[in-house]
């Protein structure tokens, strides 16, 4: 996920300070990793440097002084361009689970036990996400975000089942290489 583009999108609501942008990010993308304040402010500085955002004054609002940022016309064009791009399917498999299965075979570990433990962790996370999305107060953003994560976890589970069924062959291939 492109933090710079997400922040440009959040600035569509009008001038905002970093604290507010971080809070809105975490609300709008509930299943994403929360942004660190440092990441928000560093990204805002880069947006200003690149002419995609600019400082729009300061706001104390009864507390410490905060810098307000707003999106520039170039920032609006950049966001429109980015939002219209098709996200390419991942060209490479960088699956940590797969890597751990292979390393387990290479190091004389128990890949079958690892897959069972990983399946248990996935199932627990799926239960958590199901509770989140079925909560009566869940908004559509939360439901859709949980659905997205659930579908990816389900795909992982299907892959783990297939891999577990093929461990003998995989072990022979890894050991012979």
In order of 68, 101, 145, the CA distances from 7 in angstroms are 13, 37, 18
Q: How far apart are the C-alpha atoms of 25 and 13, rounded to whole Å?
A: 12
pLDDT of residue 143: 92
Buried b (16+ CB within 10 A) or exposed e, 46-59: ebbeeebbeebeee
Cα–Cα distance between 79 and 71 in angstroms, integer? 10
CB 3 within 8 A of CB 51: no
Nearest residue to 120 (alpha-carbon basis) of 162, 156, 145, 147: 156
CB 48 within 8 A of CB 54: yes
pLDDT at 150: 94
- CA atoms of 25 and 31, how far apart (whole Å): 11
E strand or H helix that includes residue 71 = strand 66-71
pLDDT given for residue 27 in this prediction: 84
Could you read off the pLDDT tens digit of each residue along the chain, which spans 177 residues?
Answer: 689 999 999 999 899 999 999 999 988 887 778 889 999 999 999 999 999 999 998 877 777 788 999 999 999 999 999 988 877 766 655 678 888 888 888 888 899 999 999 999 999 999 999 999 999 999 898 899 899 999 999 999 999 999 999 999 989 988 887
d(CA 73, CA 12): 11
- Rounded-to-integer distance, Cα 3 and Cα 1, Å: 6
Q: What is the DSSP letter of 16?
A: B
Q: Is the pTM of this model over 0.75?
A: no
Give the per-residue pLDDT at 57: 87
pLDDT of residue 125: 94
Q: Contact, 170 vs 105, CB < 8 A?
A: yes
Give the per-residue pLDDT at 65. 82
- Is 163 within 8 Å of 115 (Cβ atoms)? yes
pLDDT at 92: 59
């Amino acid at each position: 996920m492109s933090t710079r583009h997400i922040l440009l999108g959040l600035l569509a609501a009008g001038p905002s300070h970093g604290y507010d942008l971080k809070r809105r990010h975490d609300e709008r993308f509930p299943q994403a990793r929360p942004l660190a304040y440092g990441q928000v402010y560093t990204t805002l500085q880069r947006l200003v440097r690149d002419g995609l955002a600019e400082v729009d004054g300061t706001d104390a609002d009864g507390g410490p002084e905060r810098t307000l940022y707003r999106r520039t016309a170039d920032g609006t064009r950049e966001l429109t361009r980015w939002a219209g791009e098709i996200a390419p399917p991942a060209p490479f498999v960088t699956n940590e689970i797969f890597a751990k299965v292979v390393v387990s075979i290479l190091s004389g570990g128990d890949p079958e036990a690892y897959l069972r433990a990983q399946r248990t962790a996935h199932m627990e996370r799926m239960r958590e996400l199901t509770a989140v999305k079925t909560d009566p107060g869940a908004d559509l953003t939360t439901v859709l975000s949980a659905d997205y994560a659930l579908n990816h976890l389900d795909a992982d589970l299907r892959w783990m089942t297939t891999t577990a069924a093929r461990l003998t062959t995989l072990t022979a291939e890894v050991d012979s290489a």
